[in-house]
A and B are shown apart, each in its own frame.
Chain A
Amino acid sequence: MPTQQAWGKKVTCLLKSYFTIIIMVSLTEALDLPTYKDVEAASVILRDVANRTPVQTSRFLDGELGVKVFIKCENFQRMGAFKFRGGFNALSNLTPEERAAGVLTYSSGNHAQAIALSAKILGMKATIIMPEDAPKLKVQATMGYGGNVLFYDRYKEDRDEVASALKEKTGGVLVPPYDHKHVIAGQGTSGKELFEEIAEFGETLDYLFVCVGGGGLISGCALAADHLAPGCKVIGVEPEAGNDAQQSMERGEIVHIDTPKTIADGAQTQHLGKLTFGIMKEKVHKIITVTDEELVSCMKFFGERMKMVVEPTGCLGLAGLKKLVRNGDIPANSRCGVIISGGNVDMSRYCELLLS
């Protein structure tokens, strides 16, 4: 047997195993999941910058459902949605060099405004990649906060390619809308505040209902719930047409779907993030779905009874609670938290939905 060839084979084998181990280690290391400590750090950064939004209750709602409901109103957050928390926390954690290079992101929704406003406050440059046909109001709001908007044709161009090309050119940092340690930690401060606020009255939560898009809000809140009220069941709510998170939880792996058709435009994501799913599968009790009609009904309730504007996606939490109460799944007198994610809806669309 030629000794060199035998040695050659042995070395190749060794090298292959070596590389496999390296790849496996990097995959695990890549899942650097945020912990409650990151949520605590985020709350320090956000203090005096983010709004400590009110927790509202409704005697009418409590009477109707037979439970005690605590509603965290992130529609009153800066730029009208909880996304400000994650955006500001993420940008605050950049190094001076990264800040100087500026931030990039892609979103036509609340994350775009969150990044634009956060960048303005921190004196940073922000470029937001938006589809040409993004709603005019959202484009205007983003520009109003000083963001540079770069349009792309969503039918001809690939968003990721546009982002990469821009990153190459400017050296800017890409901050994604949910699958990011500091974004998740920032979103989790909303849940942390809710638990803290009601603890002042000697209350805690048995359940916490949170809307699910990419999973940023629910994973952050689950970190808070796990630490502050381990007995609390965190329940995610998705639109019926876009139940990728529900499927992912059932299958134990991230499921991809096509962009769902639903009025909940903040929950039209095609798949969960690796980090968000990583937390959700351990700490979220279950995911349920609701119909668009149920969302409109909640929107009407919020407007009529609580005098608040809540966007359709923001109604997912309450709609989920109502559904489970109807099904008899929630014991009477349970303490139920609901997070309203945002109130950014065009008035004509709001009225159109209410009158339908």
Chain B
Amino acid sequence: QLETIRTLNTYMMKPPPPTAAGVLSAASLLAGRVVHTPILESTLLNSKLGGGRLLIKAESLQTTGSFKYRGALHRLLKLREEVPSSAKRGVVAFSSGNFGQALAAAATTLGIKCVIVSPHDAPSIKLDRIAAYGADLRISTAPHGTNREAVASAMAKQFSEDEGLTLLHPFDDAHVIHGQGTIGVEFLQQACDTLNGNEGSGQKKGKPPLRTIDSIVVPCGGGGMVAGINLAVDALQGENSRMTSVMTVEPTGYDDHSRSFAASHRLSLAEIYTADNDDDNMPPSSHSSVSVSKTEKYPISPPKSKSKACDALMAAAPGQITWSVNGPRLSGAVAVKDDDSVYNAMKVAFDYYRLVLEPSGALGLAAVLDGLEKSVSGNSDDGPVLPPGRVVGVIACGGNTDLDTYA
């Protein structure tokens, strides 16, 4: 009976917001259960870019091929701990992408029933993987004229009600955010060792402060990973004494975070852009280093080079919970100029880091290569892309791409 009351409360009350402490707790819980992905660095590329240091957190090497596994596993572990009866009944989520695979794999590992609802036209390779990881995959078919994502989402909600399954959200969820934040905890700790040698683990009195990452560049869809990383920075450096700044990168035409950041309030893509139209008179997309004007009037026409490749980062708006964390903490939010930058970054990842990245996974690297650092440090356009002495961290967040398409 107590369980029923608790469950009702969970539905009716607002869940507690994500916190820095929550991220640290998640790091303990996930230790040994997720891959402690490596930091990769290329001496050659560093010197080519100007002498600074570019550190890549290779989350494409995470279980299921993307960082999403952390959030998914953490969410399920907390469900099992906090509401065991719900865990016994199972979970449902709507996704055709990396979250679907991650949740399926995590649920199978924990022996929790998992239903994933995907639109019928999602790539078959992704659908196959979701099923292969052990989820109960259900396909939704959107009648012509309706929004396929809205239909699948509604279907998931229906299953949740009908079958008593807990409906999970891929990013706008405190425990998912805590799980993603463990990337930030690892990254900062690993970077501390890399940048400071053997003294990294203990600060000595009288010695200069330990070197850390100057800026972490995070590819961004709904904002779950970047919210987690922002909280990780708070946790390890203190909310009021942060040394590491955090920036988001979005694909062209899906820059809701970039516009929200400029406007200082949360904006959705529907509010920003008019419906798609192929007007040849549209201005070319602005360079990634040019900030969006604070006084931009919306809606505006969508850019000609709206991304087609970054399928994992096409969320319609920043999450409400994620924006509550990110809004006050981000130091910048940009969009890359076009998909070509992304393809170039995928090649750089191949050549210099031996990583197979999906387009969304290479977005952070693309922004850096396009000169993000130049604009951040106020250098002129002639300056190096990565100035000496500067340490930039990039999350390479996923590698789930079809190899034939990649080739």
Contacts and interface: CB of A to CB of B under 8 A. Distances in A.
Interface of A: 48, 51, 53-54, 56, 59, 75-76, 78-80, 117, 141, 144-145, 300, 303-310, 343-344, 347, 350-351, 354-355
B378 to A, nearest CB: 29
Nearest to B125: A304
- Which 3 A-B residue pairs are closest in the complex by CB-CB distance? A307-B399, A343-B354, A351-B407
A54 B61 contact: yes
A305 B403 CA distance: 10
A117 B35 CA distance: 30
A344 B44 CA distance: 13
Contacts of A59: 63
Contact of A48 (B47, B197, B350, B351): B197
Residue from A48, A307, A310 having most chain B Cβ neighbours under 10 A: A307
Contact of B356 (A51, A76, A309, A344): A309
B354 A80 contact: yes
B124 interface: no
B40 interface: yes
A78 B46 CA distance: 13
Nearest to A81: B354
22 contacts: A48-B198, A54-B61, A75-B354, A76-B38, A76-B353, A79-B43, A117-B43, A141-B44, A144-B44, A144-B47, A144-B48, A145-B43, A303-B356, A307-B60, A307-B65, A307-B400, A308-B354, A308-B356, A350-B350, A351-B406, A351-B407, A355-B407
Contacts of A344: 354
A307 B403 contact: no
B190 to A, nearest CB: 11
Given A80-B354, A144-B47, 5 more contacts: A117-B43, A144-B44, A303-B403, A305-B65, A309-B354
Contacts of B44: 79, 141, 144-145
A51 B43 CA distance: 12
Interface of B: 35, 37-38, 40, 43-44, 47-48, 60-61, 63, 65, 197-198, 347, 350-351, 353-357, 399-400, 403-404, 406-407
Contacts of A306: 61
Given A54-B61, A355-B407, A76 B40 contact: yes
Given A48-B198, A307-B65, A54 B357 contact: no
B350 A309 contact: yes
Contacts of B63: 59
A354 B403 contact: yes
Nearest to B404: A355
Contacts of B353: 76
A80 B41 CA distance: 11
Given A145-B43, A308-B354, A53 B403 contact: no
Nearest to A57: B35
A309 B355 contact: yes
Nearest to A311: B354
A344 B352 CA distance: 9
> Which secondary structure dominates chain A's binding surface?
helix
Given A303-B403, A354-B407, A347 B351 contact: yes
Given A145-B43, A303-B403, A347 B354 contact: no
Given A48-B197, A78-B43, A307 B357 contact: yes
Nearest to B407: A351
Contacts of A48: 197-198
Contacts of A355: 404, 407
Contacts of B347: 347
A62 to B, nearest CB: 13
B367 to A, nearest CB: 20
A307 B399 CA distance: 6
A278 B198 CA distance: 37
Contacts of A145: 43-44
A304 B43 contact: no
A44 to B, nearest CB: 13
B61 A56 contact: yes
Contacts of A303: 356, 403, 406
Contact of B403 (A51, A80, A300): A300
Nearest to B399: A307
A134 to B, nearest CB: 17
B198 A307 contact: no
A54 B40 CA distance: 10
B348 to A, nearest CB: 10
A181 B316 CA distance: 60
Nearest to B346: A347
A341 B399 CA distance: 21
A303 B330 CA distance: 34
Nearest to A306: B61
A54 B399 contact: no
Residue from B35, B44, B399 having most chain A Cβ neighbours under 10 A: B44
Nearest to B61: A307
A54 B65 CA distance: 16
Contacts of A350: 350, 407
A76 B43 contact: no
A53 B38 contact: yes
Contacts of A53: 38
B103 to A, nearest CB: 16
Contacts of B197: 48
A308 B355 contact: yes
A7 B351 CA distance: 73
Contacts of B355: 307-309
Nearest to B37: A54
A120 B65 CA distance: 35
B46 to A, nearest CB: 11
Nearest to B45: A144
Nearest to B402: A304
A139 to B, nearest CB: 13
A354 B356 CA distance: 13
Contacts of B407: 350-351, 354-355
Contacts of B48: 144
A75 to B, nearest CB: 5
Contacts of A80: 354
Residue from B40, B47, B65, B403 having most chain A Cβ neighbours under 10 A: B403
A308 B350 CA distance: 9
Contacts of B404: 354-355
Contacts of A351: 406-407
B47 to A, nearest CB: 8
A78 B40 CA distance: 9
Nearest to B197: A48
A76 B63 CA distance: 18
A26 B35 CA distance: 51
